[in-house]
């Protein structure tokens, strides 16, 4: 019976020792795994090639917002890396790829423009410089189209001052673009609507001279002709108002036979002669002839 108790005690002690050993080993193994995991995470966070690989994966899937995050993360950590210019170009391209229409939020246009310009400034002479120049020109074209669209929107709603500001903005920033011809035409319409016909004429003349092949040139010439005609009529009206007697004289002699400069009353046939002739048919032609109106 005594031997049996000894055996039981030995078994219990041995089991306790084994259990403690396994627990200690388990804790040691767990700490190692955690350190390995942390090391891998830090490496993935900082490794430039891994960051670019993730960015490229998002870019190829056209998940441009996520690609932007990764490219920017690369540049934040590795701005002087040999692939930094590529990352900057791809960052700008990620914004540019999201430009679908000027009718949508133009914020992406300005962000793409800013990133392409930064590429040329921070990494001058890079292999992506030529493409950046083309993209920058495209961004400016989009911006001009935004101004034109907004100006037309204001014009249709009779917000003429706001419309004029947008059209003038195009002429200031992009005077050599063909879209400047559109801006000149709509600016002339806007000034005409404001009653500033002289300014409208000035813009129409500029449209004809600078952009003879514009889609609005023919309409602009018609508008210019109408403005000139209206100006001529206004001049005649002012002249008529300032000298009504002269206008009346011209009206009486409007049959291309103007009245003589001086006519004596005694030279005219008596009015009674109209009553003394048979059926009152005196020689009206003779009287009109004396008046210089009909012979």
Q: What confidence score (pLDDT) does residue 57 get?
A: 97
Cα–Cα distance measured from residue 149 to residue 43, given in angstroms and rounded to the nearest whole number: 49
- Give the lowest-confidence range in 124-128, 155-159, 223-227, 266-270: 266-270
Q: Is the pTM of this model over 0.95?
A: no
Hey, what domains does the chain have and what are their CATH numbers?
Answer: 41-157 (1.25.40.10), 158-234 (1.25.40.10), 257-290 (no CATH)
Q: What confidence score (pLDDT) does residue 12 get?
A: 58
At 36, is the secondary structure helix, strand, or coil?
helix
Residue with tokens 């891998």: 40
> Average pLDDT for residues 134-146, to the nearest whole number?
96
Q: How confident is residue 41, by pLDDT bands cut at 50, 70 and 90? A: low
Q: What confidence score (pLDDT) does residue 8 get?
A: 55
Q: What confidence score (pLDDT) does residue 101 get?
A: 81
Cα–Cα distance measured from residue 78 to residue 31, given in angstroms and rounded to the nearest whole number: 31
Whether the CB-CB separation of 135 and 112 falls below 8 Å is answered with: yes
Q: Which residue has the higher pLDDT, 252 or 95?
A: 95
**Helical ranges in the chain per DSSP H:** 2-46, 48-60, 64-77, 84-96, 107-122, 129-156, 160-173, 179-194, 197-210, 217-242, 244-252, 273-276, 284-290
With a cut of 70, say whether residue 123 has pLDDT above it.
yes
Instruction: Give 274-284 pLDDT, tens digit per residue.
Output: 344 444 444 44
At 292, is the secondary structure helix, strand, or coil?
coil
204-223 burial string, b = 16+ CB within 10 Å, else e? bebbbeebeebebbeebeeb
Q: How confident is residue 24, by pLDDT bands cut at 50, 70 and 90? A: very low
Q: What confidence score (pLDDT) does residue 277 get?
A: 42
Whether the CB-CB separation of 203 and 192 falls below 8 Å is answered with: no
Distances (CA, A) of 104 to 41, 100, 151, 157, 208: 39, 8, 15, 20, 32
In percent, the amount of the chain with pLDDT more than 90 equals 57
Cα–Cα distance measured from residue 128 to residue 125, given in angstroms and rounded to the nearest whole number: 8
Cα–Cα distance measured from residue 219 to residue 204, given in angstroms and rounded to the nearest whole number: 10
At 278, is the secondary structure helix, strand, or coil?
helix
């Amino acid at each position: 019976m005594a031997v049996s108790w000894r055996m039981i005690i030995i078994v219990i002690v041995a089991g306790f020792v084994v259990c403690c050993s396994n627990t200690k080993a388990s804790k040691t193994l767990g700490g190692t795994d955690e350190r390995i995991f942390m090391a891998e995470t830090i490496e993935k966070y900082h490794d430039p090639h891994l960051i670019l690989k993730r960015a490229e994966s998002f870019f190829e899937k056209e998940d441009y917002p996520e690609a932007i995050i990764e490219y920017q993360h690369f540049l934040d950590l590795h701005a002087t890396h040999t692939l930094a210019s590529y990352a900057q170009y791809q960052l700008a391209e990620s914004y540019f790829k999201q430009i679908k229409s000027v009718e949508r939020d133009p914020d992406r246009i300005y962000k793409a423009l800013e990133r392409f310009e930064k590429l040329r400034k921070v990494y001058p002479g890079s292999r992506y410089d030529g493409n950046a120049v083309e993209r920058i020109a495209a961004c400016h074209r989009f911006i001009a189209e935004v101004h034109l669209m907004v100006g037309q929107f204001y014009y249709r709603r009779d917000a003429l001052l706001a419309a004029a500001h947008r059209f003038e903005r195009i002429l200031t920033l992009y005077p050599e673009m063909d879209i400047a011809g559109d801006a000149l035409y709509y600016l002339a319409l806007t000034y005409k609507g404001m009653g500033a016909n002289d300014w409208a004429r000035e813009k129409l003349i500029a449209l004809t001279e600078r952009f003879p092949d514009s889609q609005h040139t023919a309409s602009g010439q018609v508008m210019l002709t109408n403005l000139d005609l209206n100006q001529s009529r206004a001049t005649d009206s002012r002249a008529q108002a300032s000298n009504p007697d002269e206008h009346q004289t011209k009206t009486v002699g409007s049959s291309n036979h103007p009245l003589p400069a001086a006519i004596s009353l005694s030279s005219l046939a008596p009015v009674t002669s109209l009553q003394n002739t048979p059926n009152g048919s005196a020689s009206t032609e003779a009287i009109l002839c004396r008046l210089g109106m009909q012979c």
